[in-house]
Amino acid sequence: MKKTYDSDINLTMLTDFYELTMANGYFKNGFEDTIGYFDMFYRNIPDKAGFVIMAGVEQVVDYLNNLKFTEDDIEYLRKRNFSEEFLDYLRNFKFQCDVWAIPEGTPIFPGEVIVKVRGPIIQAQFLETMILLIINHQSLIATKANRIVRAANGRTVMEFGSRRAQSAQAAILGARAAYIGGCVGTACTIDGRDYGIPALGTMAHSWVQLFDTEIDAFRAYAREYPDSCTLLVDTYNVLKSGIPNAIKVFNEEVVPRGFRPKGIRIDSGDITYLSKKARKMLDEAGFEDCQIVASNSLDEYIIRDMLLQGAKVDSFGVGERLITSSSHPVLDGVYKLTAIEKDGKLIPKIKISENVTKITTPCAKNVYRLYDKETGKAEADLLTLQDEVIDENEPYVLFDPNYTWKQKKITNFTARPLLEKIFENGECIYEKKDVKEIQKYCKEQIDTLWDECLRFEHPHKYYVDLSQKLYDEKYRLLKEHSSKL
51-107 residue pLDDT tens: 999 999 999 999 999 999 999 999 999 999 999 999 999 999 999 999 999 999 999
What residues have CB less than 8 Å from 317, skipping those under 6 apart?
157, 158, 160, 187, 265, 293, 294, 295, 298
Cα dist from 280 to 15, 214, 218, 264, 367, whole Å: 57, 21, 20, 13, 53
Distance CA 444, CA 378 (A): 12
Over residues 350-372, the mean pLDDT reads 95
Domains belonging to the chain, first-starting first, are: 17-141+329-482 (3.20.140.10), 145-323 (3.20.20.70)
The pLDDT, as a whole number, for residue 483 is: 80
Distance CA 315, CA 299 (A): 13
Distance CA 471, CA 388 (A): 13
For residue 10, pLDDT over 50 is answered with yes
Question: pLDDT category, 6, cuts 50, 70, 90?
Answer: low
Over residues 123-140, the mean pLDDT reads 98
Over residues 115-137, the mean pLDDT reads 98
CB 369 within 8 A of CB 381: yes
For residue 278, pLDDT over 60 is answered with yes
HEC-encoded secondary structure of 210-265: HCCCHHHHHHHHHHHCHHHCEEECCCCCHHHHHHHHHHHHHHHHHHHHCCCCCEEE
CB 5 within 8 A of CB 172: yes
The pLDDT, as a whole number, for residue 73 is: 96
What residues have CB less than 8 Å from 160, skipping those under 6 apart?
186, 187, 201, 295, 317, 318, 319, 322
pTM score, whole prediction:
0.96
Over residues 33-37, the mean pLDDT reads 96
For residue 4, pLDDT over 50 is answered with no
pLDDT (tens digit, 9 = 90+) per residue, 133-171? 999 999 999 999 999 999 999 999 999 999 999 999 999
Over residues 422-451, the mean pLDDT reads 98
The pLDDT, as a whole number, for residue 356 is: 87
Gyration radius of the chain over CA positions: 26
Over residues 180-191, the mean pLDDT reads 98
The pLDDT, as a whole number, for residue 1 is: 45
H or E segment and range at residue 40: strand 35-41
The pLDDT, as a whole number, for residue 7 is: 55
Distance CA 280, CA 273 (A): 11
Query: For the chain, what percent of residues have pLDDT higher than 70?
Result: 98
3-state secondary structure of 335: strand
- Among 2-16, 166-180, 435-449, where is mean pLDDT lowest? 2-16
The pLDDT, as a whole number, for residue 204 is: 97
What residues have CB less than 8 Å from 96, skipping those under 6 apart?
119, 120, 123, 425, 426
